[in-house]
Amino acid sequence: MSDILSQNEIDALLNALNAGEDIPEETPEAQPNAARLYDFRTANKFYREQMRTLNVVFDSFSYLLTNKLTGLLHTVCSVEVISVEEQSFGEFNNSLPTPVILGVIDMDPFQGSLLMELSSSLVYALISRLFGGEADYSQNEKSFTEIEMSLIENIMHQMMGVMKDAWGKIVSVEPIIKTIESSSQFTQIAAMNEPAAIITMNAKIDNIEGIIALCIPHYAIQPVAKQLSTVNWTLAETQKQNKGPNQEKTIEEQLQNTYVTIEATFNETATQLGEILRMQVGDVICLNHPIKECINLSVESIPKFRGVVGTDHHKYAVQIAKIIKENENIE
């Protein structure tokens, strides 16, 4: 079987054609035991086990982020991992489009910084939804304003919470956004020839799709390289489940730390607009609520209790008098 021509051999043949020289029909066969040059700089620095672990982590991240964005934007969102591969930082940096949102992340115990990319189509879709409209990508050429950058910074801070949960089974991390830029000139977190793991995810909001990419330089994972072994974190997770509290207790603890809004409301009272406009400080408003009747207490706008109005330490207070049972027909 003949060897594949190198680039130099191809160039020599093209030059010979242009000069009108004769080209030999057969080329001498290569020696069977001839040595071939090998560039050690092209060797993969990330082990296969580490790439598999990163795939597992960011599969979990994409699932958690899907739920987070769906609740935040009040629309159907989906995030899925496209690829986990190794590239040089220079290849990743040169492939970045303009405009783009780049977040520099410090994630203890990782060494140095990580880089997160949000494509402009995704950013504009997020901004449109946050302002109450549909996901839109019609203004893809303009630069981002300070208000838009502030909104995206807030979203990326919330994404760091999702990142922490996704890494929880492997290693305990504390990701924080160090800075956010719209140009790759200010995000040189590694040398151009530094190997890096590039995790690419596709995010879809309504009909708009965009890219979320994370760049993890090889030197950044050195403090946690042992934890990235699939066997190690699988065993650690098994031991954690055997020694830790059961799932029911864990859910109960999480619910106890969840903040909810409770409101106490009187019966609705109707009046004329003219009377409202003539109101002054000190006027008394007559409510359509008998003094002996309990008031409604709602948790997240859902009626849960009936209460009695009073005072406690010179402050208005409501004492719970009755629990409202939920309708049995409502699941």
Q: What confidence score (pLDDT) does residue 29 get? A: 53
Give the residue range(s) of CATH 3.40.1550.10 domains in the chain: 48-256
Structure tokens at 49: 């086990």
Q: What confidence score (pLDDT) does residue 253 get? A: 76
- 48-256: CATH number: 3.40.1550.10
Cα(45)–Cα(11) distance, integer angstroms: 33
Structure tokens at 214: 């994370």
Least-confidence region, from 126-130, 188-192, 230-234, 266-270: 230-234
Tell me the pLDDT tens digit for each residue of 179-235. 998 887 788 888 888 889 999 999 998 888 889 999 999 888 888 888 777 555 555
Structure tokens at 196: 């890096």
Dihedrals phi, psi of 21, to nearest 5 degrees: -80, 160
Cα(54)–Cα(114) distance, integer angstroms: 14
Q: For strands 100-108 and 174-181, give the pairing.
A: antiparallel
Cα(106)–Cα(100) distance, integer angstroms: 20
Structure tokens at 315: 């402050």
- 262-323: CATH number: 2.30.330.10
Cα(126)–Cα(156) distance, integer angstroms: 11
Is the pTM higher than 0.75? no
H-type helices in the chain, by residue range? 7-19, 48-73, 89-94, 120-130, 146-167, 230-243, 247-256, 273-277
